[in-house]
Chain A
Amino acid sequence: MQDILSQYETVTENAVKEWFKVGLTSDFPENSGACIKYKTKQIAVYNFARTGKWYACQNLCPHKMEMVLSLGMIGDKEGVPKVACPMHKKNFSLEDGSNLAGEDLKIATYPVKIKDGNVYIGFSD
């Protein structure tokens, strides 16, 4: 199980080696999430239409190792964009992947780029 988790590591924008095209912006529901596949990874992509911002993180909830985060409800906690895992409502910041209740759970985040109506996720592998 640990193997599944270990393939997810936060990628910052300047470490991106490949901007991978995952679809049209219209493929992604507004103010909600959807899941994409990159090699063996499952990545959750969120379209915050209210702020015009996009976020991406691992689809795997590190709490119980289920591929579900893209199904979670999104929103904000005191201005920080977040996703609530549908399983046990663990809240994660989409800015830095930290658990918003201060628990020792963390998710990897990935940069998102929108160009000509296409959505790209940045990977370093």
Chain B
Amino acid sequence: MKHIIVVGNGMVGYKFCEKFVEKAASKDFKITVFGEEPRPAYDRVHLSEFFENQDAKALEMAPLEWYTEHGIDLIVGERVSDIHRSKKTITTVTDREFSYDYLVLATGSSAFVPPIKGVEKEGVFVYRTIEDLEGMLAYAAKIKANNPNAKAAVLGGGLLGLEAGKAVMDMGLEPHIVEFASKLMPRQLDLRSSQVLQLKLESIGLNIHLSKATNQILGDKAITGLEFGEDDVLDVDMLVISAGIRPRDELGKTCGLEMGVRGGIVVDNKMQTSDENIYAIGEIALYNQMIYGLVAPGYDMAGVAVDQILGDSDSLMPDDIDMSTKLKLIGVDVASFGEPFMPAAKGHSIIFENKTQYLYKRINVSLDGKSLLGGILVGDATDYNMLHQIYLNGMAIPEDASQLILPASEGGASFGSVLDLPDTAQVCSCESVSKGDICCSITDGESHNLSDIVAKTKATSGCGGCKPMVVDLVNETLKSLGKEVKETICEHFNFSRQELYDLIKINRVADYDEALNLFGEGHGCEVCKPLLASIFATITMETANRQPTIQDTNDRFLANIQRNGTYSVVPRVAGGEITPDQLIVIGEVAKKYDLYTKITGGQRIDLFGAQIHELPLIWKELIDAGFESGHAYGKSLRTVKSCVGSTWCRYGMHESVTFAIEIENRYRGLRSPHKLKGGVSGCIRECAEARGKDFGLIAVDGGWNLYVCGNGGATPKHAILLAEQLDDETAVKYLDRFLMYYIRTAGPLVRTAPWLDKLEGGIEYLKKVVIEDSLGIAEDLEQEMQGLVNKYECEWKEAIENPEMMKRFKHFVNSDDTDDNLVFVPMRGQKMPKAWV
């Protein structure tokens, strides 16, 4: 049996092991892996995610057991200190000696720390390992305790530096990026794209300092600032150095392997070093006089080394290595491929720039206009996968190449279908999966859906950037085989939401259990239960009290569960109109139960911090004073926001408050695939922000303009004009039809805007259905809505009047004690939950 020792357990070292166990019968080989860090290999590419969840395990490439299961000895926390080539052994820092037949060096790189005076000061960090991050977190907490407005600088405006900038921003520090060059990401971006990126980053709060050479780091013991030149000082409380990488090649040097002038261990296209029994892969390998600091070439190198050791001498590293990258930096798409900077002699560039939307797209086209040589995308990289494939496969491009990057509305056309790609096109570069691999696996009947493909080929499991393309390929291939591509709800129901809606309605299904028995399998889950609850609510207007156990926790307890397991209470304040007496009642209730109060975005009042047993008591008092449930906890109508309108406003055209109240009361309690919000503005100044809602009415001369399918939130969308100059009655009629049509046909948790995006024919089609009644269902929709409106009742009133329903509002079944785990701390005269540990 041959013994392979792998030195280094980073992403590439791990990939070597993974590829090895895939290919080799383990009885012929024994693998021992040494890792210097205290934990098994993790995904360094997504290191900044550690700040979001502090969950080191989530980043792991594979758990410890994986190594054991595959007979690999993983020795972590032990650095290899010497290689003795003559006797083919290594020794570790604890002086243990191991002999090898093959040695694979995958020690990666370390952060380059420039020789600046003062780098040893407290508060100066590098950005490389989870331990670095933990150190930064602890230090940030310390300085923030002394100074809530503490600042942190990142030295280096490259890819990793900007990631580190996001990290310090997430820690609540004021972020500053300091770059020596005159632009950000100098290796990937040209000047104009870099300026677009800079504008965008500044708009979200990053301070950027370019062309700055740091002379020294100021401070006595701990850092207090950076000095660039005389009188040019930046005060900061912490510094993160991200000024590039240096290969960890000491082992190669000390044992006399051939080295590059500026570091790195020289390898040939077999990944062999100058010693035929020693291979080097990843960021220590100097191949074609280059160090490749990207994960995809590192993975390829690992694959070549595996093949070579197993005797496949034809497996070689290609001469040209694709350095294309696409990433999301602080929420901004940045991508470059092929030759991003092209000398004018080689071709022409087509550039589209829109600084108002932080967009920049550049493609470089050969002089004859026939091939794509490379390009840069900032702000929107949705075209990247296609452009990258066109470049890699030398595919033909349209005569007017600008169509490749122009927005569709400006004459650009989405180019081709994914199925037009050649089978050899590499779709997932991290895992080297080609289009052919994916399509054949489906046509051979080996895979039947996306998750099969992911399991079989590992596509999308690396950086995940290829996911949209893989999804398209799977769906298109299935369609080409005549198979129906269906978005099913979950493992328990093999139907879409719309299909289930019809099934339940036609078969008059009584409850969830019956639906599961008739159309499903297994015992349900947190996806299908609330979805069916919503369908039952739409078909019969049943309240959440009838089948409480299939409701999402919020609906089950008719309140919003908050951070510490307490609940918040929101009474309906239709149209935002509230009397002084009602305000006093809310104030008194809040005082009595010691609740934190805040005005919501929907013009009402939220009362936080109620315990489960207090909910009925609070609601009893509110209902006695004339309030009713605000359904803030449901996927249902929330509020119809209004401006004050013509009753008071000197510009008002119609009574927006009156109409908002009428509409809110009409649709109160209406359950839908996602939450619904509305707005009514009394004139075109639009103070109610009605176009940021699922439906909005704006008063104009001659009636109301009706807008639909807008929202705020993560992907803001303005609502689109559906009909103009409507009288009150017609506006309500169209709203009934629109809402009911949406509720019937939308997928689970799809708001109106993405629903419209996917609706074939878009707004024009919707106009035909709603206004012209092209489907002949308008009357149906109206009747259905009217039925729901007639059946409305306040579910909180229903609950507190029924002792059986009240049983669930209790923390313990076997005790009247309350949860003694709750801790509140004071804040600005009110209370808040104690912070999470």
**Interface code B530-551, partner A: CB below 8 Å = 1, 0 otherwise?**
1000000000000000001110
Contacts A73-B549, A91-B526 known; 7 new A-B pairs at CB < 8 A: A4-B821, A31-B513, A51-B523, A81-B523, A86-B552, A86-B553, A86-B554
Q: How far is the CB of A46 from chain B (nearest CB, A)?
A: 10
Contact B522 A79 (CB under 8 A): yes
- Please, how many residues of chain A have a CB less than 8 angstroms from a CB on the other chain? 44
Question: Which residues of A39-94 have CB atoms within 8 Å of chain B's CB atoms?
Answer: 42, 45, 48, 50-51, 60, 64-68, 71-79, 81-82, 84, 86-87, 89, 91
- Chain B residues with Cβ below 8 Å from A116 are none
Contact B837 A76 (CB under 8 A): no
Per CB-CB distance, the 8 closest pairs between chain A and chain B, nearest first, are A86-B553, A32-B549, A75-B525, A84-B526, A104-B57, A75-B524, A73-B526, A1-B837
Which residue from B550, B553, B561, B836 sits with its C-beta under 8 Å from A65? B836
Assembled-state Cα–Cα distance A78/B526 (Å): 14
Contact B565 A66 (CB under 8 A): yes
Q: 14 A-B pairs, CB-CB below 8 angstroms?
A: A28-B813, A29-B808, A32-B549, A35-B811, A37-B814, A50-B516, A50-B523, A66-B565, A67-B565, A72-B553, A73-B553, A74-B523, A75-B529, A77-B525
Assembled-state Cα–Cα distance A54/B319 (Å): 62
Q: Does B819 make an interface contact (CB < 8 A)? A: yes
Contact B523 A36 (CB under 8 A): no
Contact A45 B523 (CB under 8 A): no
Among A27, A60, A76, max chain B CB count under 10 A is at: A76
- Chain A residues with Cβ below 8 Å from B310 are none
Q: Quick one: closest A residue to B55, CB to CB?
A: A103
Assembled-state Cα–Cα distance A40/B274 (Å): 66
Q: Does B492 make an interface contact (CB < 8 A)? A: yes
Given contacts A42-B821, A64-B836, A65-B837, contact A89 B564 (CB under 8 A): no
Q: How far is the CB of B608 from chain A (nearest CB, A)?
A: 15
- Chain B residues with Cβ below 8 Å from A1 are 837
Which residue from B525, B550, B553, B821 sits with its C-beta under 8 Å from A67? B821
Among B522, B523, B561, B837, max chain A CB count under 10 A is at: B523
Q: Quick one: closest A residue to B525, CB to CB?
A: A75
Contact A73 B552 (CB under 8 A): yes
Given contacts A76-B525, A84-B526, contact A71 B492 (CB under 8 A): no
Is the interface on chain B under 10, 10 to 19, 20 to 34, or 35 or more residues?
Answer: 35 or more
Q: Does A30 make an interface contact (CB < 8 A)? A: yes
Q: How far is the CB of A102 from chain B (nearest CB, A)?
A: 8
Contact A67 B813 (CB under 8 A): no
Q: Does A22 make an interface contact (CB < 8 A)? A: yes
Assembled-state Cα–Cα distance A4/B834 (Å): 15
Contact A23 B814 (CB under 8 A): yes
Contact B813 A68 (CB under 8 A): no
- Chain B residues with Cβ below 8 Å from A73 are 525-526, 529-530, 549-550, 552-553
Q: Quick one: closest B residue to A102, CB to CB?
A: B63
Q: How far is the CB of B552 from chain A (nearest CB, A)?
A: 7
- Chain A residues with Cβ below 8 Å from B621 are none
Q: How far is the CB of A121 from chain B (nearest CB, A)?
A: 10
Q: Quick one: closest A residue to B821, CB to CB?
A: A67
Question: Which residues of B783-837 have CB atoms within 8 Å of chain A's CB atoms?
Answer: 808, 811-815, 817, 819, 821, 836-837
Which residue from B516, B813, B837 sits with its C-beta under 8 Å from A22? B813
Q: Does A34 make an interface contact (CB < 8 A)? A: yes
- Chain B residues with Cβ below 8 Å from A28 are 813
Q: Does B677 make an interface contact (CB < 8 A)? A: no
Contact A45 B553 (CB under 8 A): no
Q: Does B58 make an interface contact (CB < 8 A)? A: yes
Q: How far is the CB of A41 from chain B (nearest CB, A)?
A: 11
Interface SS of chain B: helix, strand, loop or mixed? loop
Q: Does B556 make an interface contact (CB < 8 A)? A: yes
Given contacts A66-B565, A78-B491, contact A36 B553 (CB under 8 A): no
Contact B492 A75 (CB under 8 A): yes
Contact A103 B58 (CB under 8 A): yes
Q: Quick one: closest B residue to A45, CB to CB?
A: B813
- Chain A residues with Cβ below 8 Å from B530 are 73
Q: How far is the CB of A23 from chain B (nearest CB, A)?
A: 5
Q: Quick one: closest A residue to B552, CB to CB?
A: A73
- Chain B residues with Cβ below 8 Å from A27 are 813-814
Q: How far is the CB of A67 from chain B (nearest CB, A)?
A: 5
Assembled-state Cα–Cα distance A37/B550 (Å): 24
Q: How far is the CB of B244 from chain A (nearest CB, A)?
A: 33
Q: Does B557 make an interface contact (CB < 8 A)? A: yes
- Chain A residues with Cβ below 8 Å from B553 are 68, 71-73, 86
- Chain A residues with Cβ below 8 Å from B549 are 29-32, 73
Contact B526 A76 (CB under 8 A): no
Contact A37 B525 (CB under 8 A): no
- Chain A residues with Cβ below 8 Å from B554 are 86
Contact B526 A72 (CB under 8 A): yes
Assembled-state Cα–Cα distance A34/B524 (Å): 18
Contact B812 A77 (CB under 8 A): no
Assembled-state Cα–Cα distance A48/B808 (Å): 17
Which residue from B58, B525, B564, B813 sits with its C-beta under 8 Å from A66? B564
- Chain A residues with Cβ below 8 Å from B808 are 29
Assembled-state Cα–Cα distance A28/B812 (Å): 11
- Chain B residues with Cβ below 8 Å from A79 are 522
Given contacts A23-B813, A35-B812, A78-B491, contact A68 B526 (CB under 8 A): no
Given contacts A71-B557, A104-B57, contact A89 B526 (CB under 8 A): yes
Q: How far is the CB of A114 from chain B (nearest CB, A)?
A: 15
**Interface code B550-585, partner A: CB below 8 Å = 1, 0 otherwise?**
101110110001011100000000000000000000
Among A29, A32, A66, A103, max chain B CB count under 10 A is at: A66
Q: How far is the CB of A47 from chain B (nearest CB, A)?
A: 9
- Chain A residues with Cβ below 8 Å from B837 are 1, 65
Question: Which residues of B491-533 have CB atoms within 8 Å of chain A's CB atoms?
Answer: 491-492, 513, 516, 522-526, 528-530
Assembled-state Cα–Cα distance A81/B286 (Å): 52
Q: How far is the CB of A35 from chain B (nearest CB, A)?
A: 6
Contact A76 B821 (CB under 8 A): no
Q: Quick one: closest B residue to A87, CB to CB?
A: B561
- Chain A residues with Cβ below 8 Å from B812 are 35-37, 42
**Interface code B45-69, partner A: CB below 8 Å = 1, 0 otherwise?**
0000000000101100001000000
Q: Quick one: closest A residue to B566, CB to CB?
A: A66
- Chain B residues with Cβ below 8 Å from A50 are 513, 516, 523
Q: How far is the CB of A66 from chain B (nearest CB, A)?
A: 5
- Chain A residues with Cβ below 8 Å from B561 are 68, 71, 86-87
Which residue from B57, B522, B814, B815 sits with its C-beta under 8 Å from A75? B522
Q: How far is the CB of A36 from chain B (nearest CB, A)?
A: 5
- Chain A residues with Cβ below 8 Å from B563 are 64, 66
Assembled-state Cα–Cα distance A87/B563 (Å): 8
**Interface code A84-125, partner B: CB below 8 Å = 1, 0 otherwise?**
101101010000000000111000000000000000000000
Assembled-state Cα–Cα distance A36/B516 (Å): 29
- Chain A residues with Cβ below 8 Å from B525 are 73, 75-77, 82, 84
Q: How far is the CB of B492 from chain A (nearest CB, A)?
A: 7
